[in-house]
A = this chain, B = another copy of it.
Amino acid sequence: MTFDPFTAPLSAVHVGFTGNRIDRDDRIRRDPETLWAMTMDPTARWLVLDDLRPLARATADSVELAWVRRSEAPRGDTVFLGVDAEGTPRFAVAGSAAGLDGEPMDARALATRLSGDQAGLVAQARSLVDWHLRHGFCAACGGQTKLDKGGYERDCTACGAEHFPRTDPVAIMLSIDVANDRCLLGRQPRFPKGFLSALAGFVEPGESFEEAVARELYEEAGVRTGRVRYVASQPWPFPSSLMMGAFAEATSTDIRIDETELEEVVWMSRDDVRSALAGQGPFAAPPPLAIAHTLLKAWIDL
């Protein structure tokens, strides 16, 4: 019998941006008095995002988030991240980091060098701060909105509508040609030459994750899908995706590329994927921060 990647045990997988250990404690968000006390707590610390870049301090061999006191943080819509293991309340706010000790860093580059716990905080802070920056008005009536519930809600000052942060589920998948032990990879026009990754697309209204996997593979590559095996998920704060990773059983293997989405789609052998993940070609693989890397690693480790 052929080896079956849809039932074989999965090894434990590393997933970028996961591991955030902060206690988000929604009871605090719901209670304005407790939230105010947290804000005024002298141990409380703020993460400043300047043009969505978190303030950090980097040396040649390490990097850390540069948390500041309330008195140092810019004024603006403030998000309660939660309380850490030491009992320190943590917040995030958008604004200029000029004059503060540290440098604003690209969130993706930063997350690559941080522990999962810290990268998870960056994901939480960046998605929420960005959402507030782009939702100052009510989609229902055009009125002005204001922050509520510690940053997990915006309320319309005109019609009273309540708005909640977006989290956009994305299906990202390796179509697997089981008989030939190959997986399907593609290159978007914006990717560098030689780079290949898993195909992906947003889950649409009225479909399950599994249906989105099958639809995207057919739309982008003309490949039909049988079984779908969920593997893992990750937050991806650019700006607010929830990446849901899967293996998809290919029930056809002829490729028909949607050239508006992809420049190249290829079947790649397990040996080539193993070599690419080791940095030895024949293609450039996605970095460990990306769940596409997790999927490829999970597949070759089956």
Q: Decide if B208 touches A18 in the complex (CB within 8 Å).
A: yes
A121 interfacial by beta-carbon distance below 8 Å: yes
Q: Decide if A205 touches B131 in the complex (CB within 8 Å).
A: yes
Known contacts: A137-B140, A219-B26. The answer to whether A124 contacts B233 by CB under 8 A is no
Chain A residues 186 to 236 lying within 8 A of chain B, measured CB to CB, are 202-211, 215, 219, 230, 232-235
Q: Which residues of B contact A128 (CB under 8 A)?
A: 205-206
Task: Provide the bound-state CA to CA distance between A215 and B15, in Å.
Answer: 18
Residues 140-164 of chain A: 1 if any B CB is under 8 Å from the residue's CB, otherwise 0? 1111110000001000000001011
Number of copies: 2
For A130, give the chain B residue with the smallest CB separation. B205
Known contacts: A20-B207, A208-B234. The answer to whether A7 contacts B9 by CB under 8 A is yes
Q: Decide if B211 touches A18 in the complex (CB within 8 Å).
A: yes
Q: Which of A36-44, A237-245, A276-284 has 4 or more CB atoms under 8 Å from chain B?
A: A237-245
Minimum CB–CB distance for A8 against chain B, Å: 12
Q: Decide if B204 touches A165 in the complex (CB within 8 Å).
A: yes
A100 interfacial by beta-carbon distance below 8 Å: no
Q: Decide if B204 touches A152 in the complex (CB within 8 Å).
A: yes
For A291, give the chain B residue with the smallest CB separation. B208
Q: Which of A62-70, A166-174, A175-183 has 4 or more CB atoms under 8 Å from chain B?
A: A166-174
**Residues of A that sit less than 8 Å from B by CB:** 7, 9, 15, 17-18, 20, 24-27, 30, 120-121, 123-128, 131, 134-145, 152, 161, 163-169, 202-211, 215, 219, 230, 232-235, 237, 240, 242, 244, 258, 260
